[in-house]
Homo-oligomer: A and B are copies of this chain.
Amino acid sequence: MKIDVVNHIFPKVYFDKMVEVLPSGKDMHKRVRAIPCIVDLDERFRIMDMFDEYVQVICLGAPPIEAFGPPPISTEMARIANDGMAELVNKYPERFPGFIASLPMNDPEGLLKEAQRAIKELGAVGVQVFSNVNGRPLDKPETMPLFDLMADFDLPILLHPARGADFPDYKSETKSHYEIWWTFGWPYETSVAMAHLVFAGLFDRHPDIKIITHHLGGMVPYFEGRVGPGWDQLGTRTSDVDYTQLLKSLKKRPYDYFKMFYGDTAVFGSMPATKCGLAFFGVDHVLFGSDSPFDPERGSAYIRWTIEIIERLDITPEERHAIFEGNARRLFKLKS
């Protein structure tokens, strides 16, 4: 079986609410006309049926819940989303073996309550967070308790990139053009978020926490030389802060913590990138994820390309099984 752990869907009830709440609600209709299967289940199943023994652990797509507005707006949107997701999983268990909960990350109390409700009452198998909360790093007192909670549950956190509604850099002339914020900005944001979590000491507190980074670890695998020997020299490029103490306060090299993340395979058809990411994280830390349906074929291309690459990788059948299915079952605690 192939368990696609990163793909995006909008439950109908959530989508309707998005259109109602968002100032750019009409854009949402345009988006869905462009990629019907993000809402339309018949179209989704038609695409899924192109692939043998293919199922999806489903999660929402961007925008992040917190982009809808302050609580209680965000809190309510998360409830609607998670109820809608649970309904899909209950109705189509043979298609969707589980769902990833969405959280109102701008509501410090509400996000913990909703995570508990989604997991305990609705059966969510993990939660999704974006790489920043409306521009705020994740390692703040308002959001860090979620990581403690998920470590207690021993369930994964999916780390999805976010443009960040009020990030100043995307308004600058240099970055806003040509959708650079998407092509390079998103993997960059993922990497930035990973660094914040590492240097906050998260992995010393929770060595077994499971954080699945989108797009095979952002920039980390390709720049392991910067993450490794580069960050061993943390502080040599800074004159206003002394990072010596920070390095000493960590139990391991910064590099070693980055290997404790997990990565999904959503690199959109690149075999060299897949090999590079797999070499970095190792087979046990890589999960099949397609990022469907945002591809040139409106849903099928990224799934097909990603499956083809994993099937062509020069690894053992056991290793291939781990990437396609085993790691997902282990991390999300899915029944066989």
Contacts and interface: CB of A to CB of B under 8 A. Distances in A.
Interface of A: 24, 27, 34, 132, 135-137, 164, 167-169, 172-175, 177-180, 182-188, 191-192, 195-196, 199, 215, 218-219, 221-239, 243, 246, 267-273, 275-277, 279-280, 294-296, 301
Contacts of A246: 178
Contacts of A168: 168-169, 172
B269 A178 contact: no
Contacts of A173: 136-137
B135 A172 contact: yes
A188 B190 CA distance: 12
Nearest to A30: B239
B226 A27 contact: no
Nearest to A230: B183
Interface of A is mostly: helix
Interface pairs A-B: 7 shortest CB-CB: A225-B268, A169-B169, A222-B222, A272-B279, A168-B168, A276-B276, A272-B276
A232 B179 CA distance: 11
A327 to B, nearest CB: 20
Contacts of A184: 188, 191-192, 195, 218-219, 223, 226
A109 to B, nearest CB: 23
Contacts of A295: 229
The winner among A137, A199, A267, A276 for most chain B CB atoms within 10 A is A276
B222 A221 contact: yes
B192 A230 contact: no
Nearest to A178: B199
Contacts of A232: 296
A179 to B, nearest CB: 5
B222 A276 contact: yes
16 contacts: A135-B174, A179-B234, A182-B226, A183-B195, A187-B222, A187-B226, A221-B273, A222-B270, A222-B276, A224-B270, A226-B268, A228-B269, A228-B270, A232-B296, A275-B275, A275-B276
A268 B230 contact: yes
Nearest to A185: B188
A216 B279 CA distance: 18
Given A184-B223, A184-B226, 16 more contacts: A168-B172, A169-B172, A178-B195, A179-B231, A183-B223, A183-B226, A183-B231, A184-B188, A186-B226, A215-B223, A225-B268, A225-B269, A229-B268, A229-B269, A230-B268, A273-B276
Contacts of A169: 167-169, 172, 175
